[in-house]
Amino acid sequence: MALPPQFLDELRARTPLHGLIGRKTRLARNGRQWKGCCLFHNEKSPSFYVYDDHFHCFGCGAHGDAITFLMRAEGASFPEAVERLAAEAGLEVPKPTPQAAAREKRARDLHGVLSLAEAAYRRRLFLPEGRAALDYLRRRGLTDETIARFGLGWSGEGRGALAAELKPEGIEPAQLVAAGLMKPRDPDDPAAGLSDMFFGRVMFPIRDRRGRTISFGGRTLGDGQPKYVNGPETELFSKRRGLYGLDLARDAAFRGAPVLVVEGYMDVIALHQAGFGGAVAPLGTALTAEQLELLWQLTPEPVLCFDGDGAGARAAARSAELALPLLSPERSLKLATLTGGEDPDTLVRKGGAAAFQPVLDAARPLSVALYELVTAGKPRETPEQRAALRARLEEVARLIPDRMLAGEYRRALLDRFFEAGRRPIPPAGARRPPRREGGATWRREPPMGVPGLQRPAIDPPGIRLERARNLLAILLRHPLLLPEVEESLMALDLPEGDCQALRASLLGWLAGAELLDSAALARHLANDGMENAATWATRAPGLCAAAQPAAQPKEALDGWWHFFGLLRGEAELVEDRAEAQRLLVETNDPAAQQRLIRLSEALAVLRGGESEVTTEEATIRAAAGPASGGPSGAPRADTIG
């Protein structure tokens, strides 16, 4: 028995193809897809591309999906490949029972019924009875080409008209009920007969990702309510698991179009006609986790477009909270907001693509928009209110399962929180109030300057970049420090570009490294394309002594924490230390103790003092004794090496 198409579609959707193929050959991100050397023929230059749902080699022509890959790469039969992928995806392969065979036949029959119904609705649109519907669509600015592309139609006014039209095709009323096109007049009285699900409505076919019609939506032309109606749940159709326009958006995303989520059918159609072919919409429900998974199969960062009113803000907040537990470093969201009471349909009708493009360009990453969504309308005047808001921000960040990503979100949210609470900096040239000492007012006299000598301008970004370079150079020269500083390194806000790329490469290497030495790290960086970045980080000018190969382990570790403190900032260090102290109390873990000591030393240096250990930390050290080591059983910092 052939397996049901719905099962195979879900199996493919649940199998990350780049992860499956990446077990056999090294893949590198290449835009929206992955690229590597083909397994099926010998090649030195990569020509093997992996997309969201298929692979293709431009060298030998190999092509297929996850099932095909296992069959070609491992010689598995079709059933063996399906069984293995299903086990990994947590799916049960349907058994070849008479009931399963009957379901498969019904599904084939339902696709046929829906296809015939769509053809009937489309014909009616261009008959005299559909004139009002056709005029409505044209008033909305739709061309005949767009009407045909989306398969728009007219349900007709006469009750029972669809059943009568399809009867010569051998379609029985029971099949129309199973397809969601008719319903019992009275569920408790079978003798009451059947009625049409859609009556006097403009019809919108709803299709799956393969372009097959699985249900319909209908819009009334009058004042009747509800204005829009979707077909009921059937064996083919689930509102939670589909998106309007998905089949067309899939093709557009493959060609590089941004994927947009808007509210309604007409928004999707208007955007497609204006050239935004990646537009989709939920099917009469709020965005669901299943729909987010569909979106991430198309693109790693879809754009959710909301109205600028209160309802739009609430929808954005709900979508963000839904998405957080599903985020990973490879998939996120952007949020775009419409203003002035516009929706995408009215906006492009008035100004075309040029009117909507700025909305798309202004879309903000979720990491940026989340702070405003969480804090909107929340009071923050008292210490209690600020503490509650800060706790909420940390709670939101903890919803993200990926540890590194959750740390980045927590840092971004708390950075905004502390920035909002700082006093404004006086404008340039403003006079500061006089200081008082011992009750007397005094002013500091300006220092005597050298005539004609210009003081160089301070370059904060350049200073921060040099500090980050030194911090990374220490780790490149002394990779044995990585296990002890891993968590703190993840929390840092490093400059974009080489600094962040180097950190990611270092942490990726640490996760699987068997030997923490500079030679192994250098090989990893070369394979990861980071050789030039490493050369930049370790160049001699401006490099501190702790980053020199001859530096002693303790000197290197002290230097690393020095730069960490300068980059992290006082408020964040205070928080880090409080968290480390809490963990030490809860776990009595030597790693937590060592982290607490180091954070306290970094904070002391940042506050302008010497790198001294306070009485509190000295007590902690004495109580812990000589056995305190770093993470993963690493020896104390002063004995590494």
- The per-residue pLDDT of the chain, averaged, comes to 82
Listed in sequence order, the DSSP H helices in 245-340 are: 246-254, 265-273, 289-298, 310-323
Tell me what pLDDT residue 610 has: 40
- The stretch 353-372 carries a mean pLDDT of 92
More confident site: 584 or 481:
481
Determine whether domain 97-237 maps to CATH 3.90.980.10: yes
Q: Are 284 and 230 in contact (CB under 8 A)?
A: yes
User: Per-domain residue ranges for the chain?
Assistant: 5-89, 97-237, 244-419, 460-639
Tell me what pLDDT residue 442 has: 43
Q: Are 84 and 70 in contact (CB under 8 A)?
A: yes
Residue 624 has pLDDT above 80, yes or no: no
Q: What is the pLDDT of residues 484-516, one digit of tens each?
A: 888 788 878 899 888 999 998 898 888 777 778
Confidence class for position 633, pLDDT limits 50, 70, 90:
very low
Write the CB contacts of 312 (distance below 8 Å, at least 6 apart in sequence). 306, 337, 338
Q: How far is CA 22 from the centre of its chain?
A: 21
Q: Are strands 48-50 and 55-57 parallel, antiparallel or unpaired?
A: antiparallel
Q: Output the 3-class SS for 12-69.
A: HHCCCHHHHHCCCCCEEEECCEEEECCCCCCCCCCCEEECCCCEEECCCCCEECHHHH
- The stretch 18-32 carries a mean pLDDT of 83
Q: What percent of the chain has pLDDT over 70?
A: 85
Tell me what pLDDT residue 627 has: 36
Among 354-363, 542-551, 562-571, 599-608, whose mean pLDDT is lowest?
Answer: 599-608
Confidence class for position 613, pLDDT limits 50, 70, 90:
very low
Confidence class for position 232, pLDDT limits 50, 70, 90:
very high
pTM value surpassing 0.85 = no
Which of the given ranges, 189-198, 223-232, 273-282, 500-509, has the highest pLDDT on average? 273-282
Q: Are 196 and 161 in contact (CB under 8 A)?
A: yes
Q: Are 107 and 4 in contact (CB under 8 A)?
A: yes
Q: Output the 3-class SS for 381-415.
A: CCHHHHHHHHHHHHHHHHCCCCHHHHHHHHHHHHH
Residue 29 bridge partners (DSSP): 34
CATH topology of domain 244-419: Dna Topoisomerase Vi A Subunit; Chain: A, domain 2 (3.40.1360)
Q: Which of 565, 558, 562 is nearest to 636 (CA)?
A: 558
Phi, psi of 303 (to 5 degrees): -110, 120
Tell me what pLDDT residue 435 has: 46
Tell me the torsion sign for CA atoms 371, 372, 373, 377.
positive
Tell me what pLDDT residue 438 has: 43
Cis bond before residue 226 (omega within 30° of 0): yes
Residue showing tokens 């493009």: 357
142 C-beta neighbours (distance < 10 Å), count: 20
Q: Are 195 and 185 in contact (CB under 8 A)?
A: yes
Tell me what pLDDT residue 90 has: 84
Tell me what pLDDT residue 568 has: 84
Tell me what pLDDT residue 424 has: 53
Q: What is the largest CA-CA distance in the chain?
A: 105
* DSSP code per residue over 518-576: HHHHHHHHHHTT-HHHHHHHT-STT--GGGSTT--HHHHHHHHHHHHHHHH-HHHHHHH
* DSSP code per residue over 474-500: HHHH-GGGHHHHHHHHHH--PPTTHHH
Same fold yes or no, 5-89 and 244-419:
no
Class in CATH terms, 5-89:
alpha beta
Question: CA angle at residue 132 from 128 to 134, to 5 degrees?
Answer: 85
Amino acid at 434: P
Residue showing tokens 């102290």: 581
Residue 601 has pLDDT above 70, yes or no: yes
- Three-state secondary-structure class, residue 327: coil
